[in-house]
């Protein structure tokens, strides 16, 4: 079987016209003058157009039909040209090589960009990017529906924006939704914690802490805010307000588990308080331990199964602590930059980092943890959050430094959608009925609605 190039095909049929510019066909040619033609070519009269890009050069079928050619597994589709006369199989059949058998009469022509289906190129719509249009964000995009970027605050099915709560002046660093309460709390580096009415979306109270709030959680009736050199706590039922001293530097992370309040501080130490059952005590919480081991600030804390505490630090390491004894049992080294977030899901530990990776850790037979899978993002990862969808499929929310939150279906990491904000999302909270709350670097608190009915995973 003979193989010839497009140029030889042009010479054989006497076509001397200049090839059509494919960029002109797509409406994107910016050359003047252009060495290619700005007009569609005229097909030869003996070519019968086939939408599958197979061209047959014969006036009628031959007596001896050639065997069909199988498409190569790793190549683009080929254009097949039959050059025989409309007679029975004879030696006068045109071919680059003399055929040995009747089945070898076909000549295979390599299809290049010059002979591609220009009509298909002209009709193909330009692929939409998965980035939000920065001009649309400021109401200045002139392309409208023709814009290649997204004109929406989300990508994917089943999302809507319910409200935008913009009272904070700086980064929203924490969101808390106490169980049994109709109030939402948000903390910011502007030094305030704001209380929002979930029914009206209005800010009903502002608590001035005179210090940057860098973490915020709730447990039962208590709301805890991490500030410099302390943790502020108040009871939303009784109105009691206390200050928990001990940490050195900014308190960057908070968590509560096994009846212990844990705070990761800028000095690399984790501080632990237990509730004080004595009603006459000066404080309802008592400092019971300090966990030392990290050499740089503790950025994130997670509590998982088997009563274990996991801490991530700017020293690139993850430490595992026994909550019963408060001893460090192992150190995990799987990231090359700050460990920004940790989440425990059933028997798995997921960690994210500024090195643009998300690691999935599994327990080995020896009782240690190892990385079973690494997912890579284009930008650094700021936080991980999890839930299950209506079909009980695990969904991972991944906040990235490109001002987006990506949704992945686990364990495949198949992308389900994205949420977009004006600046990086630094806080996230899941509410009932498919509600999502995100806080970004502008101080905006976004309320989203996912039309599916999710469930918060237990860990």
Verify that 161 and 97 share a domain, yes or no: no
Verify that 91 and 217 share a domain, yes or no: no
Based on its alpha-carbon atoms, the radius of gyration of the chain, rounded to whole angstroms, reads 32
Verify that 90 and 178 share a domain, yes or no: no
Q: 407 with 417: CB under 8 angstroms?
A: yes
Kindly provide the residue ranges of all beta strands, DSSP E only, lying in 171-278, ordered along the sequence: 172-176, 183-188, 192-197, 203-208, 215-219, 222-235, 241-257, 260-265, 270-275
Residue 187 DSSP SS3:
strand
In a domain, 137, yes or no: no
What pTM did the predictor assign?
0.68
- What is the rounded average pLDDT of the residues 191-208? 93
Q: Which of 67, 89, 124 is the last residue of a domain?
A: 124
Verify that 277 and 320 share a domain, yes or no: yes
Verify that 421 and 290 share a domain, yes or no: yes
| Cα–Cα distance measured from residue 334 to residue 342, given in angstroms and rounded to the nearest whole number | 13
In a domain, 164, yes or no: yes
Predicted pLDDT of residue 433: 80
- Domain extent, residue 408, equals 146-450
| Domains identified in the chain, total number | 2
Instruction: For residue 204, report the phi and psi dihedrals to the nearest 5 degrees.
Output: -105, -10
In a domain, 219, yes or no: yes
Q: 231 with 244: CB under 8 angstroms?
A: yes
List CB contacts of 72: < 8 A, sequence separation 6 or more.
78
* Longest alpha-carbon distance in the chain: 111
Verify that 322 and 434 share a domain, yes or no: yes
Instruction: For residue 448, report the phi and psi dihedrals to the nearest 5 degrees.
Output: -110, 155
Verify that 204 and 337 share a domain, yes or no: yes
pLDDT in tens, 257-284: 989 999 999 999 999 999 887 777 778 8
- What is the rounded average pLDDT of the residues 285-299? 95
pLDDT(455) > 60: no
In a domain, 459, yes or no: no
Predicted pLDDT of residue 110: 43
Q: 151 with 136: CB under 8 angstroms?
A: yes
pLDDT(401) > 90: yes
pLDDT(120) > 60: no
Instruction: For residue 240, report the phi and psi dihedrals to the nearest 5 degrees.
Output: -65, 140
Q: Which residues sit opposite 227 in a β-bridge?
A: 230
Q: 384 with 342: CB under 8 angstroms?
A: yes
* Residue 411: cis peptide before it, omega within 30 degrees of 0: yes
pLDDT(97) > 90: no
Verify that 119 and 208 share a domain, yes or no: no
- Other C-beta atoms within 10 Å of 249: how many? 13
Residue 208 DSSP SS3:
strand
pLDDT band, very low/low/confident/very high, at 27 (cuts 50, 70, 90)? confident
Give, for 447, the enclosing helix (H) or strand (E).
Answer: strand 444-450
Verify that 409 and 282 share a domain, yes or no: yes
To the nearest 10°, report the CA torsion of 422, 423, 428, 433: 10
- What is the rounded average pLDDT of the residues 311-322? 97
In a domain, 67, yes or no: yes
- What is the rounded average pLDDT of the residues 365-376? 92
| Cα–Cα distance measured from residue 395 to residue 400, given in angstroms and rounded to the nearest whole number | 16
Verify that 230 and 337 share a domain, yes or no: yes
Give, for 405, the enclosing helix (H) or strand (E).
Answer: strand 404-409
Verify that 78 and 173 share a domain, yes or no: no
Q: 193 with 207: CB under 8 angstroms?
A: yes
Predicted pLDDT of residue 125: 45
In a domain, 135, yes or no: no
Predicted pLDDT of residue 73: 44
In a domain, 455, yes or no: no
CATH of the domain at 169: 2.130.10.10
Rounded alpha-carbon distances, angstroms, from residue 101 to 7, 67, 81, 106: 27, 11, 17, 11
Verify that 192 and 109 share a domain, yes or no: no
In a domain, 204, yes or no: yes
């Amino acid at each position: 079987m003979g193989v010839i190039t497009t140029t030889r095909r042009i010479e054989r049929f006497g076509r001397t016209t200049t090839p059509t510019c494919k960029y002109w066909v797509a409406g994107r040619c910016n050359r003047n003058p252009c060495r290619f033609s700005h007009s569609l070519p005229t097909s030869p009269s003996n070519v019968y157009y086939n939408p599958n890009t197979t061209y047959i050069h014969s006036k009628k079928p031959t007596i001896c039909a050639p065997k069909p050619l199988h498409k190569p597994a790793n190549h683009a589709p080929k254009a097949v040209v039959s050059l025989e006369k409309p007679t029975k199989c004879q030696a006068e059949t045109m071919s680059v090589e003399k055929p040995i058998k009747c089945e070898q009469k076909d000549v295979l022509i390599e299809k290049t960009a010059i002979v591609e289906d220009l009509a298909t190129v002209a009709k193909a719509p330009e692929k939409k990017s998965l980035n939000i249009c920065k001009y649309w964000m400021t109401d200045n995009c002139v392309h409208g529906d023709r814009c290649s970027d997204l004109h929406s605050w989300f990508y994917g099915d089943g999302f809507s924006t319910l409200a935008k709560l913009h009272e904070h002046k700086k980064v929203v660093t924490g969101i808390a939704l106490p169980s049994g309460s109709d109030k939402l709390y948000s903390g910011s580096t502007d030094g305030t914690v704001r209380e929002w009415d979930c029914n009206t979306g209005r800010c009903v109270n502002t608590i001035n802490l005179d210090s940057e709030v860098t973490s915020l959680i709730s447990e039962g009736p208590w709301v805890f805010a991490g500030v410099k050199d302390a943790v502020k706590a108040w009871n939303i039922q009784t109105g009691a307000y206390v200050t928990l001293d001990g940490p050195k530097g900014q308190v960057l992370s908070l968590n509560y588990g096994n009846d212990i309040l844990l705070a990761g501080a800028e000095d690399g130490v984790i501080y632990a308080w237990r509730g004080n059952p004595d009603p006459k005590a000066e404080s309802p919480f008592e400092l019971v331990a300090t966990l030392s081991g990290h050499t740089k600030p503790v950025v994130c804390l997670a509590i998982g199964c088997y009563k274990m505490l996991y801490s991530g630090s700017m020293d690139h390491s993850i430490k595992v602590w026994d909550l019963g004894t408060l001893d460090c049992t192992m150190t995990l080294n799987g990231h090359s930059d700050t460990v920004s977030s940790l989440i425990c899901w059933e028997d798995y530990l997921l960690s994210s980092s500024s090195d643009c990776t998300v690691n999935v850790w599994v327990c080995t037979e020896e009782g240690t943890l190892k990385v079973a899978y690494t997912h890579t993002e284009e930008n650094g990862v700021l936080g991980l959050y999890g839930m299950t969808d209506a079909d009980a499929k695990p969904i991972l929310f991944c906040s990235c430094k490109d001002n987006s939150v990506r949704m992945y279906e686990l364990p495949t990491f198949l992308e389900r959608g994205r949420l977009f904000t004006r600046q990086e999302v630094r806080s996230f909270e899941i509410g009932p009925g498919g509600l999502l709350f995100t806080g970004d670097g502008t101080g905006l608190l976004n309320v989203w609605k996912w039309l599916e009915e999710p469930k918060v995973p237990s860990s």
